[in-house]
Amino acid sequence: MPRGFCYLAVIIDLYSRKIIGWSLGEDITEELTIKALNMALETRDIYPGLIHHSDRGVQYASNKYTDLLKNNGISISMSRKGNPYDNAYAESFMKTIKYEEIYLNEYDTLEQARINIGHFIEDVYNRKRLHSSIGYLPPVEFEEQLQDTKLKSISVPF
């Protein structure tokens, strides 16, 4: 028997497929999405040309949320009305987490759900789950290889 309902907001780096920000809460509010966005902003450098894509939910279109993006120099992109294919990466992740974590477990409390879902995102999805689009590597390993390549390409022999 269901004990309650909660919402998950995620920020995905589309290049590496890594979940870089997430938040779980009882209500679908701008605070939920702002927590996920702040986590992403704390873990990433922001470069010119960065685009944030989301669906058209009021939590993503709120002034506080869009101001946070604009103040960080991030361009805003939103899905067309009623077209989930525009946000396919997020939809795919939501399907994955439902089938590989949520449907397999029962959570007695929101905190228990937060712990299990956090473990899945950080330790399973980001560190172990292989992604065909990035050479069958987990996102963390893919990013480490990118970093190694960058360091090698900028090193100057003496």
- Lowest average pLDDT, out of 15-24, 74-83, 134-143, goes to 74-83
pTM for this entry = 0.88
Other C-beta atoms closer than 10 Å to the C-beta of 100 total 13
- Whole-number percent of the chain with pLDDT over 70: 92
The fold adopted by the segment(s) 7-154 is Nucleotidyltransferase; domain 5 (3.30.420)
Residue extents of the structural domains in the chain: 7-154
**54 - beta bridge partners?**
78
Contact 139, 16 (CB under 8 A): yes
